[in-house]
A and B are shown apart, each in its own frame.
Chain A
């Protein structure tokens, strides 16, 4: 009997998996730690097929039965889950991306989930999931939960990891009244043609009613009042009571007063009086300002001011017409949580010109194409139902 006499248990499993991680880190260091990208179709599909074939061969070939027994054992499962969890913890703690300490970058620790150690762990876990699914498969309710869980997780892991090779995420900057048919990759200025064009007729932003806040001379918020337009007596703080005089939803400063006007760059303006013991101690205009006019605060004393933060956005939406090369056209409407579909692409409302706020004439759309989505969703629903079924099968185990 030696240390490596089969069956392998926890110690052997730990040694193998830690070695996989260490060797993976060494390979990463040699290759410079650049993130790996999944191959596009047909490379990713062939990779999945190869993994399935290899795992199936491990299952059926007698000389590899020791490997099959190990990969389908609880010792592998528990050790692999622990190793994966601890390794992924690094990415949960260290910000991932291109910027960071050089050593971490060279070890691939700034892009852990696109690095060799992680991918090797996923490969082994995938093989294990294939083997246990074949081993445990049976047409019984008791085994259904097990099969759904493990197969669902396998589909998510392989479909998500390798399907990313066919995932396209493209940004498009669309301006009101103009037709845009070009997109760009994030962090790149190079533009390329898209298989559709968008003409935005209008960009709609709905804001929450603006608020008033008491701040000190360090701009720290001391107390928050309710929405400006909605209350008769807005609020009070340390004996100071705020009384509204007038509210202009879209105001523009002309000389020393604000006028209501519909024009780009207007801002909500509140005219208030601040009372203390029945006397007016301060009066004036308060506005968060806009990209063309500065904010205005009301001084109550040297350490107390009344200000209005920029109103929070409630909803924003791009409305317009789309066109495709084959002559199709139609209306589109894109909002957060409400994407729009064109020919296999899903268009998401990504952002707008923050500086212009509600007067933005720019809408930033993210177009996503993910042909592997139905596969991953299939895995998600299998895992979901398989997990729910655990309660019923678990009860039987305890009987």
Chain B
């Protein structure tokens, strides 16, 4: 099943060559082909595993590798900064390479706690949030460093233009957190137990809550941009990092391979 993944990576690589020759439309075509190939891979995996492919770290990375380029192209229709497609595809490609280097055992089993109607909405909503917030994080990086590098000046965009995408990402982040609480009550008897995963999800949410309070304030654009840039690092700590922390031993929420 890695054939489609490799095909997607090759498609992106060919697309990048056309970027060098400034053939933007051809690059976009290869970009869309890669995104579709990843979507097909997810569908085939779902059919083969006979369960939603959302249980392992590799499986969630695969979903992210679809949603990030997907939202990248949607956002670009409005903002028309083509470099965002390069970023989204590069980050998705990185995650796919990580999957190839750390292959899953593609286990069909699904633990009883995961057999719930909440499984799919909770994970999908979070991956969508991560994809949107990941895409907007680079806009904020460019905004922060545009004065230091002239090539970034042309790429830059005001935070007001990306606000809507951060807000939508925050909405999905909130829904993911609350869906998780409602599911936890059904599965484990309480909606919040300060499990390390829950704790880091709450911290991620607080980070973006801060952005919402900063976003429209005059004179605080730089603080807002820093919050947005580093917010995604907190998201990565919640998504992957928590598995490597000392607190992980007490977590019922670590990914299983």
* A residues whose Cβ falls under 8 Å from a Cβ of B: 74, 77-78, 81-82, 84-85, 88-89, 91-97, 113, 160, 167, 169, 208, 224, 227, 312-316, 335-339, 346, 348, 350, 366, 368, 370, 373, 376-377, 380, 383-384, 387-388, 390-391, 394-395, 397-398
Contacts and interface: CB of A to CB of B under 8 A. Distances in A.
Contacts of A388: 171, 175
A233 B78 CA distance: 54
A315 B247 contact: no
Interface string B156-195: 0000100110011011001100100110011111111010
B142 interface: no
A395 B178 contact: no
Given A96-B250, A390-B170, 15 more contacts: A88-B202, A92-B196, A92-B200, A92-B245, A94-B247, A97-B250, A169-B189, A312-B111, A315-B115, A337-B115, A368-B190, A390-B167, A391-B164, A391-B171, A397-B216
Contacts, number: 124
A236 B201 CA distance: 42
B40 interface: no
Contact of A95 (B113, B116, B250): B250
Nearest to B118: A337
A93 B112 contact: no
A169 B190 contact: yes
Q: Give me the 3 closest cross-chain CB pairs, A-B, nearest first.
A: A336-B112, A85-B206, A92-B199
Contacts of A336: 112-113, 115, 187
A316 to B, nearest CB: 6
A85 B216 contact: no
A92 B188 contact: no
B160 A81 contact: no
Contact of A337 (B113, B167, B181): B113
Contacts of B164: 391, 394-395, 398
B76 interface: no
Contact of A94 (B116, B213, B246): B246
Interface in B207-225: 207, 209-210, 212-214, 216-217
Given A96-B194, A394-B167, A81 B210 contact: yes
Contacts of B124: none
Most buried by A among B189, B191, B214: B189
Given A312-B109, A398-B160, A391 B186 contact: no
A224 B107 CA distance: 9
Given A74-B217, A208-B109, A394-B164, A337 B187 contact: yes
A163 B109 CA distance: 37
Nearest to A83: B206
B189 A366 contact: yes
B133 to A, nearest CB: 15
Contacts of A383: 174, 178
A97 B249 CA distance: 12
B242 A92 contact: yes
Contacts of B112: 313-316, 335-337
B236 interface: no
A113 B168 contact: no
A348 B186 CA distance: 8
B102 interface: no
B185 to A, nearest CB: 8
Contact of B194 (A89, A113, A167): A113
B150 interface: no
A387 B170 contact: yes
Contact of A81 (B113, B167, B191, B213): B213
B207 A208 contact: no
B235 to A, nearest CB: 13
Contacts of A314: 109-110, 112
Contacts of A167: 190
Interface in B15-67: none
A75 B180 CA distance: 30
A339 B189 contact: yes
B213 A78 contact: yes
A398 B163 contact: yes
B146 to A, nearest CB: 22
Nearest to B249: A95
Contacts of B245: 92-93
B203 A387 contact: no
A160 B168 contact: no
A376 B181 CA distance: 11
B97 to A, nearest CB: 22
A387 B163 contact: no
A391 B210 contact: no
A348 B203 CA distance: 29
